[in-house]
A and B are shown apart, each in its own frame.
Chain A
Amino acid sequence: MNTIFSIRDVSVRFGGLTALDAFSMQVEEGAIHALIGPNGAGKSTVFNCISRFCQPVQGRIEFAGQSILDLPAHRIVGAGIARTFQNLEVLRRMTVLETVLVGLTSRVENYVPFWRSAKRSRAERGAVEQADAILVKTGLMPYRNARAGELDFGHQKMLDLARALAAGPRLLLLDEPAGGLRNREIAFVDRLLLDIARRQGITIVLIEHVMQLVMSVADRITVLSFGKKIAEGTPVEIRGDPRVIEAYLGSAGHA
């Protein structure tokens, strides 16, 4: 059990607002680590720092020995970290297959796009094969040529996940994977996450509000409130922690 991912003393400020205050978190390889907290606690800010969409004013973020903050946004996935998005920033006008092909970007070799070449044919064929394999495994094959914007919500979430998995990541950041799903769909996600982490050894950090999922799959939970970490531990420990309960009762939390 070694720490594969660590966030140390990261602070983020937007204008006068402190979104994250000296936040630290260590994640074990192959674990499912949940990040929870009331709305506005700063959870998405953590992900956005890792994705390099925002710049912390202090702190370090390291993955597999590499400093993440030194990399530009488009090199993060090459370093082994992929993420999904909460607000479903789906590639609306692209098809399901094309979306997964985009997810494969870091694994497709480059070629000159203006004419036919052996390199191009090879690269495209390989990419489509890989993409189709992922579509089969995520159950999206029937919608291969449908536009992402036309799928229903549950399938769009699945597509976002497929896109992230296509990159072959070692660390998967999931932003509210169960948000807005029905119970049967949540159970599906539950099994899926366990499969990804246990059988494939992919480390997962997830932001989630749906407590039933968090309590069921998480090995470890970190709780954020107003940009500060207020508790950390196993699901059992967190469930009974009075500080956590108070943080949630103070705002409109889910049960």
Chain B
Amino acid sequence: MYGELPTRSFILIAALLGLGIVLPLLLPEYFLYLGNMLMMYAVLAIGLDLLLGWSGQFAFAHIAFFGIGIYGTALLHTRLRIPFVIGMPVAAGLAGLTGWLLAIPSTRLRTVYLALATYAFAECAQWVFRTWDGVTGGSDGLRIKPPSVLGHVAGTDPAAFPVVAVVLCLMLVATLYLTRSNLGRHLCAIRDSEHVAAASGVDVKRVKIVAFALSAIYAGVAGGTYTLFQSFVNPDVLGVGQLILVLTMVVVGGPGSIIGVLLGVVLIGLLPEALRAAPRGLLVWQEFLYGLILMLAVMFMPRGLWGLIEAQLSVRRAPAKQAVSAAIGTSGPLDLKGTGR
């Protein structure tokens, strides 16, 4: 969590970009639709993880910012003819601003009160989307005109796929840099101990608000990508169910780790497909399964699936505890000569 990005990361992201361009030529449309959904969820989930896994804030307003991203980008395009490359960042910025405003009074609330307040906010937002039908089309929903990105018209799944991939890659690069920065360390410090963080000079309140706003921007960006391949939006997709889905992806995959979250997105995102392919009648158990998976994940995999995998890998590399105790006996008087101050 410091220093430069390893070359390995750049190679992986470049590969992802390559897939983004090549796959639309190879795969059938339905798979590309799945791919678009998964990539969109990836941005959503990483944004939620910033809040939940990295800074330890249990906030549920994420889905409201997703909505701002969707409606914002769509309306800017449909009503004001603002192209996607400007409209999406603007909508995401709006989401971030809303997040920032919400964060200011909320971050002083204790864990569960924060959860309740942000959840209430998300419900209020969904109500606004539903009732403000002059702007959002209300419960009847909003038709989304296919946006064009730098001349290339998205709108169908194959056309949107490369654009969504580009957005995801950009977000991944930004996230990788973020997690290796002093801000990233501050987020983790706050999660592990606010006292230690503050006593070390971290402005806890400000960093929490920044994390909130950043997380909201991610949700807004995800909303923007929604408009690339979906032709219609209505407030029903902006409810608790969606939030629980993203939460499950983060919790099961591995909170606090990008790879873990991506793993969770793929597994949980493809679960409905697996159920569809399974013996008839299993799809109706979807909700039950999500609940069960959530419960089992927090009971037995506190660091998610990726945490389990990582633990297995590092068992081979960690120094034995005995070496730790032996060292304290052999170290001589502390030599602090020349400590620069």
Contacts and interface: CB of A to CB of B under 8 A. Distances in A.
A192 B196 CA distance: 22
B55 to A, nearest CB: 12
- The 5 nearest A-B residue pairs measured at CB: A113-B181, A106-B201, A105-B201, A89-B193, A73-B198
B286 interface: no
A218 to B, nearest CB: 19
7 contacts: A94-B189, A127-B2, A128-B2, A184-B329, A195-B333, A195-B334, A200-B339
Contacts of A237: none
Given A105-B201, A200-B341, A195 B336 contact: yes
Contacts of B133: none
B178 interface: yes
B151 to A, nearest CB: 26
A196 B336 contact: yes
Nearest to A112: B181
A192 B323 CA distance: 22
Interface string B2-15: 11110000000000
Nearest to A109: B182
Nearest to A181: B328
A192 to B, nearest CB: 5
Q: Size range of the interface on A?
A: 35 or more
B188 interface: yes
Contact of A138 (B186, B204, B334): B334
A106 B177 contact: no
A53 B318 contact: no
A194 to B, nearest CB: 9
Given A53-B195, A94-B1, A111 B181 contact: yes
A92 interface: yes
B197 interface: yes
Contacts of A51: 195, 198-199
B4 A108 contact: no
A137 B186 contact: no
Contact of A106 (B200, B335, B337, B341): B200
A156 B214 CA distance: 32
A125 B185 CA distance: 15
Contacts of B335: 137
B312 interface: no
Most A-side CB within 10 Å, residue of B174, B184, B324:
B324
B331 A188 contact: yes
A103 B331 CA distance: 23
A110 B182 CA distance: 8
A154 interface: yes
B189 A185 contact: no
Interface string B315-327: 0001101011101
A89 B195 contact: yes
Interface stretch (A35-43, A55-63, A74-82): A74-82
Contacts of A195: 333-334, 336
Interface string B166-208: 0000000110011011111110110111011111111110000
A117 B165 CA distance: 25
B256 interface: yes
Interface string A149-172: 011101100000001110110000
Contacts of A115: 173-174, 177
Interface in A173-197: 184-185, 188, 191-192, 195-196
A146 interface: yes
B178 A114 contact: yes
Given A128-B3, A167-B200, 10 more contacts: A74-B202, A82-B199, A91-B188, A94-B192, A98-B1, A102-B186, A102-B197, A113-B182, A130-B340, A143-B324
A115 B4 CA distance: 10
Contacts of B319: 142-143, 146
